[in-house]
Amino acid sequence: MFDRIPIIDLKNVFIFQGENLILQNVDLKVASGELVYMVGKTGSGKSSLLKTLYADLPLKEGYGEVTGINLAKLKRSDIPLFRRKLGIVFQDFNLLSDRNVFQNLYFVLESTGWKNKVDIELRVDEVLKLVNLGSKGFKMVYELSGGEQQRLVIARAILNKPEVIIADEPTGNLDPEVTDDIMMLLQGICDKGTAVLIATHDYRIINKFPGKIYRCEEGRIEEVRFVS
């Protein structure tokens, strides 16, 4: 069994978009193997929080640590290396449409410093099997269903064995049955020790796949027991 090591640790953080204060006094802890939801209305600050966690927005005030890295001291030149420890999943897939499934993942590993061709191919094959796309490697992205494309996005996110997956509305465009498939995949990743933080409007998945819940509301974040 994995230890519950803090992967995300924010204390008294103030989050800004430019000069605009979005969230204040944010306290947030996410441990290894923990499934955590971030809920709240559109514009409540969920995406700004996630952007702060993967260093797209600078941490200006408060203490924030992600995968052992102090966000306030993180240099811009070190951000690409830092992000290798994260798996980031967006609602918009941002896949390479001119390459097939296998090539999409091969490109990511090459771009993140993998040198050995055999190792790259083995890792791509391994991850495709994990997300149940083992027979789809030759397919072009546009030949995949929406659910298969999201599986490919998750495969891309876990290639470098991240300590945490940060997902912004990962099931927003999917029907309930496909959504459940994606959530079972994320739950399985979580059960193996990877922390998973999901921003979502879909309360149905929270009830079906329980986890810790934080609500963004009126410029603040608080932990809640249930949502409705």
User: Dihedrals φ, ψ of 166, to 5°?
Assistant: -110, 115
**pLDDT tens digits for 61-90?**
999 999 999 999 999 999 988 988 999 987
CA nearest neighbour of 67 among 55, 80, 85, 50: 85
Is residue 89 one of the residues assigned to a domain?
yes
Q: Say what the pLDDT of residue 1 is.
A: 44
Residue 147 lies in a domain: yes
User: What pLDDT does residue 113 have?
Assistant: 84
Give me the domain span that covers residue 108: 33-45+81-224
**50 is a domain residue:** no
Residues 6 or more apart whose Cβ sits within 8 Å of residue 110: 120
Interatomic CA distance for residues 191 and 218, integer angstroms = 33
Report whether 8 contacts 86 (CB < 8 A): no
pTM of the model: 0.90
In a domain, 20, yes or no: no
What was the pLDDT predicted at 178? 86
What's the domain count of the chain?
1
CA 84 to each of CA 5, 20, 52, 97, 225: distance values in angstroms, whole numbers, following the listed order: 18, 29, 16, 23, 32
pLDDT of residue 214: 95
Domain CATH for 140: 3.40.50.300
Going residue by residue through the chain, which has 228 residues, state the pLDDT in tens, using 9 for 90 and above.
455 778 999 999 999 988 899 999 999 999 999 999 999 988 899 999 999 999 999 999 999 999 999 999 999 999 988 988 999 987 777 899 999 999 999 999 998 888 999 999 999 999 999 999 999 999 999 999 988 998 999 999 999 999 999 999 888 778 888 889 889 989 999 999 999 999 998 889 999 999 999 999 999 999 998 776
Q: Is residue 90 part of a domain?
A: yes
Q: CA-CA distance, 169 to 173, in Å (whole number)? A: 9
Decide if 194 is inside a domain.
Answer: yes
| 37 beta partners | 198, 213
Cβ–Cβ under 8 Å, residues 186 and 179: no
Residue 129's pLDDT is what? 93
Domain presence at residue 2: no
Residue 54 placed within a domain: no
Q: Which two tokens stand for residue 30?
A: 């996410």
